[in-house]
Structure formats: structure tokens, C-alpha cells
Structure 1
Amino acid sequence: MALQLSLRQARELPELRFEPTRKRVRASSGGQVFADSRDAVLVWEPRRVVPQYAFPDDDIRATLSPAGPSEVAERPVSLGPARVLDPSTPFGAHSTEGAALTLQLDGIVLEGAGFRPSDPDLAGYVIVDFAAFDEWREEDEVIVAHPRDPFHRVDVRRGSRHVHIEADSVTLADTKAPRLVFETSLPPRFYLPPSDVDFSRLRESSRESACAYKGRARYWTAADGGRELAWAYEEPLPDAAEIAGYVAFFDEHVDVTLDGERLERPVTPWS
């Protein structure tokens, strides 16, 4: 019987998973390199949807010590049958057995920024909190948001399909020159030329976010200041260069008509 790979991956989500990487990986804070390794591994704790980097003890330049009580979450966290730990979940909410650690180097103290899992296959490794460090590099390239998943793809395709966007029966955008983004485990997104977007119906938001694959995004809300409706990457990462300045809408919050057919609103974490 044939195997649908996405379903197989979903079945393995509750497991502790890891994957070696051939990249040189560095983590820095306050101008100090806390870890520098050619033998790092990517680790997905149970139900975490994005990985964290784990370094061999020998490649960590910081002193390791048990984290204080305030930095130690109950372990393992209680997970319902459908709950996942998305990137907004704090690092301290570990879903596997292990010990929380503090990293200290030249007077810089990162409380609870390390975690040594109890699993024997990861003996001698420490998982570190991506957000605790000022800068991460894979080889000499800076990475943002979280480590890139080697099993995650973002494909940008130029299109000529007719995309019409409405909210409360008011047209927000209309184009026949979209750029479609197909990203693993997410619905397709339509990125539209800014010339085909009615910005008088939108209000720029002060919020920004970072994506490990596309870069830093800015947002727009409805004109009345309601919920966020759209975003754009003005200076995307090289792999997403073709969507620079193009505007995408939350299909979860607007009505999308594609080639004359109204699409159902997808159900995602942004719904």
C-alpha cells in the first residue's frame, strides 16, 4: 500500500526526533560565541513543529550549570492528543525528559537557555534556546526566527491566475499576476503586486515578524484598525527574493476568489 509522506510525518510528531547537519553552526550573544560546531544536530522535541539546534558538549564554550527553579518548567508538559508546540511556545516548555541548564560566558548569563535531554541517542548534546542568542549563523549566513527545517520547502512560482480579494464585500486587491508560495504544511499563499492592492482600505501596523525561510515581514490591518489582514517582505531572504514587496493576505480572514471560484477559508493557527 502506498504511503502518503505528510501523514507519516504527522504520525511521528509525538516522538523525539533528530537529524545531523553538515553545516557549521554558531550561536552568539553580546559579541561572544557561545557555541561553534561542525557536528550540531537538529532536534524536534515531541509535538514541536520547528527544530532547535543541539551542540556537542565539546563545542560549547560556555560554562554549563543547572538552571534556577524559576527557569525550570514542569517536564514533560501535558499535551492533548491534537496539541502542537508552535514557534510561539516558550523554550522552557519541554515535552521530553531532561535537565534545564544555564549558560555563562565572560559575564554573560543565559538562564535556562540550555536543555540536556535524557534520551541516550542524544547523550553528550545540549539543546539551546534560539531566542536567547543575539545572532545565529549557518556557515557565514545569518539565520533568523528559528533553525531551518531540512524537510521544509518554500517554493515561489509566478502565475497568471486571476486572484480577487474581498473583506466584507469590499475589494482589497485584484490581479492576474500573482506569485504563489507553496510552503510545506501550509495552504498556498497568493502574493500580489502592490500596484494591484488598494492600500486605502488598509492601515499599516507597527508589528513585525521573522520567518526562517522568507525573512522579516511588516503588516497591515483593516482600515478601521481591526485584525491584521495582510503582510509583505520588503527585503526577503535570497530563497524568497521573488516576493520582495509583494503583498499576501490572510486567507483565513478575507474572501479569496481564484479564477472565478470562491475558495473556502483555510483552518490554520492564524484562523
Structure 2
Amino acid sequence: MATRPADLMMGALCDLRIHPVRTWVRATSGGVTVVDTRDAALVWEPRRVVASYAVPRADVTGDLVPWDGTAGAEHAVRIGHDGPSVLDPRTPFSVHTAAGRAWSIATSSGVLEGAAFVADDPDLDGLVVLDWSVFDEWREEEERAYGHPRDPYHRIDCLRSSRHVTLSIGGQVVADTRRPTYLYETNLPPRVYVPAEDVRTDLLSTSPTITYCAYKGRASYFSLGAGDARIEDVAWTYEAPLHDGRPVAGLICFYAERFDETVDGVPQERPVTPWS
């Protein structure tokens, strides 16, 4: 019987996973370089879909201090209609699903509360797992890194198309294009990016929301409607995406989970994702 690699990946989501990486990794806090390593690893705690960097203890500048703070709340979501329950990226680093001990890092610029985790697993012996969000800046080689560590099993492909795509909500068409760009991203539904000229931009208003993607960069958002009828953060754009996402620069993408989409006249099923 044939094996689907995606099934293997899904089947391991509840395991503690590790993958060595060869990039030179650095992180700063308060202008001080706290992490500087050429021996990093990616670590996914059980049920995590986004990895954290783990580095040798010797490559962390500062003292590890036991941390007994509040772990925070899980944000559990289900992947697909019958997939496993996982922790989406809103779940704070302090929620640990592997056995081990949480630590703070005391540096010359201050204490990074709960920023480190030392797992009991012998395969992680000598490594400290780090909270991406508490550092001011991460670099992989000389490239600024955003959002979270890049996953070697995760990629994006941007492909121009001539399919006829419409997106509507409540019977109101908000996008109608014959020149979409499809963005295919591992383990996510295809995203349709539309030229602004083919969007009812008069129905959109800018949102203060900003997010960062490790593969595409900085996204700014749009809300739909106004007043009591306003629906927040239903679309986004990358004005200056990272190199992998350059084909979608300036295009607008809508959450297919929230809109009625047709492709060449055929209605599409709404995908089930954490954003449904």
C-alpha cells in the first residue's frame, strides 16, 4: 500500500520531534546578543505545529533561573474535518507538552521570563529550547527572520493562473478575477491572491492588525464593511514580501474560510482551518 508523506507528518504531531539545522542563528534582546550558535536544532513539542529553536546551553549568554510562572492558555484547533487536535501559534511558549523544566534567562539587559525550556528527553540533552517571541530580533545567517523558525518540511509556491475566481459574502461579490495568483503552502488550503483592481476595495477599510509569516514576511490587514456591519481582518496583503512570496506583492487575499468562492463557475467547499 502506498504511503502518503503528509500522513506520516500528521501521525507524528503528538510526538516530541527534533531536526538539526545548519544555519548560523542569533537572537538579541535589549541590544545584547543572547543567542549565537551554529549548532541549533528545531524542536516541536507534542501537538505543536510550529517549531522552536533549541541551542546548546553554552551558546546562550546569561544565567538560567528557575521559572514558576503561569503557563497561559492553550489554543487547541483541529486540522481538517477529522485531523488531530493541535496547538495553534496563539498558544504561548509557556504551555509545554513535553516533560521538562521552564527557566528564565538573566542577561545584562534584563530577565527574559520563562524564555527557556529544558526537556527531559535524552535526545535533547544539553539543549535549551527558546521562546522566539521574547527576543527583539532573530537572524539566520545575515537574513532577518520573522514570526518563527522556518520549517524544512514547509514551503510556499506562488503560481499565476487564468482561472475565473469570485469571492462573495452574503450575496455581495467582493472579488472577481481571471488573473489570480495561487499560493500553495504546505498543510494549508490554497490561497487566492487577487489584483486590487479586481477587488471591491470600496468595501474594505484598513485594519491596524499586522502579522508576520516566516516565509512571506509582514502582512497588513483589511476589514469589510463599516460600523456594526464591520467584519474584522478578513483579507490581507504583503506589500514587500520576502523572496519566496514576491509574486504576491501588493495582491489581496481573502480568508476562503469565511467567503463563498467559485472557481470557473464551480462553488468551492470552505476549508476547515484555525481561521474558520
Q: TM-score range by the shorter chain?
A: over 0.9
- Quickly say closer, same or farther: Cα 1:78–1:175, change in 2 above 3 A: closer
Equivalences for 1:168-183 in 2 at 5 Å? 168-183=170-185
Contact 1:72 1:100 in 2 (8 A): no
Q: Hey, which bits of structure 1, 4+ residues long, moved more than 6 A?
A: 77-81
Q: 1-side partners of 2:216 and 2:72: how far apart? A: 31
Task: Report the counterpart of residue 263 of structure 1 in structure 2.
Answer: 268
What is the CA-CA distance between 1:183 and the residue it aligns to? Answer: 0.3
1:26 aligns with 2:26: yes
Residue-pair matches, total: 268
Instruction: Answer whether contact 2:30 2:109 (CA < 8 A) is retained.
Output: no
Deviation at 1:82, TM superposition (A): 3.4
CA RMSD of aligned residues (A): 1.9
Query: 2:167 is matched with which residue: 161, 165, 168?
Result: 165
Match of 1:203 in 2: 205
Q: Which residue of 2 aligns with 1:70?
A: 69
Structural mapping, 1:123-162, within 5 Å: 123-162=125-164
Question: Structure 2, unaligned stretches of length 5 or more?
Answer: none
Give the secondary-structure state (helix, strand or coil) at the position aligned to 1:42. strand
Q: 1:44 to 1:259 in 2, by over 3 A?
A: same
Give 1:47's aligned residue: 47
Q: Distance in 2 between matches of 1:56 and 1:70?
A: 24
User: How much does 1:49 deviate?
Assistant: 0.1
Residue 184 (structure 1) aligns with: 186
Residue in 2 aligned with 1:59? 59
Question: C-alpha distance in 1, partners of 2:131/2:141?
Answer: 19
Q: Distance in 2 between matches of 1:137 and 1:267?
A: 33
Equivalent-residue separation in structure 2 for 1:82 and 1:178 (angstroms): 32
CA distance in 2, matches of 1:4, 1:177: 32
Question: Contact 2:208–2:221 (CA<8 Å) still a contact in 1?
Answer: yes
SS in 2 for 1:142: strand
After TM superposition, list the pairs within 5 Å mapping 1:99-118 onto structure 2.
99-118=101-120
1:213-252 matched pairs, under 5 angstroms: 213-224=215-226, 225-252=230-257
Q: Does the aligned pair in 1 maintain the 2:154–2:186 contact within 8 Å? A: yes
**8 Å contact kept, 1:71–1:111:** no
Deviation of the 1:73 alpha carbon: 6.8
> Could you tell me how far 1:62 is from its partner in structure 2?
1.5
Quick one: distance in 1 between partners of 2:120 and 2:61?
21
Question: How far off its partner does 1:72 sit?
Answer: 5.4
- Residue 6 of structure 1 corresponds to 6
Partner amino acid, structure 2, of 1:52: S
Structure 1 SS opposite 2:273: coil
Q: 1:79 offset after TM fit, Å?
A: 11
Query: Is the CA contact (8 Å cut-off) linking 1:232 and 1:246 kept in structure 2?
Result: yes
Matching residue's letter, 1:49: V
SS at 1:70's partner residue? coil
Cα displacement string for residues 168-215 of structure 1 (whole angstroms, at most 9, x for unaligned residues) = 111111111111000000000000011111111122211111111111
What is the identity, as a one-letter code, of the residue corresponding to 1:218?
S
Question: What TM-score do you get using the length of structure 1 for normalisation?
Answer: 0.95
Q: Is the 8 A contact 2:207 2:232 kept in 1?
A: no
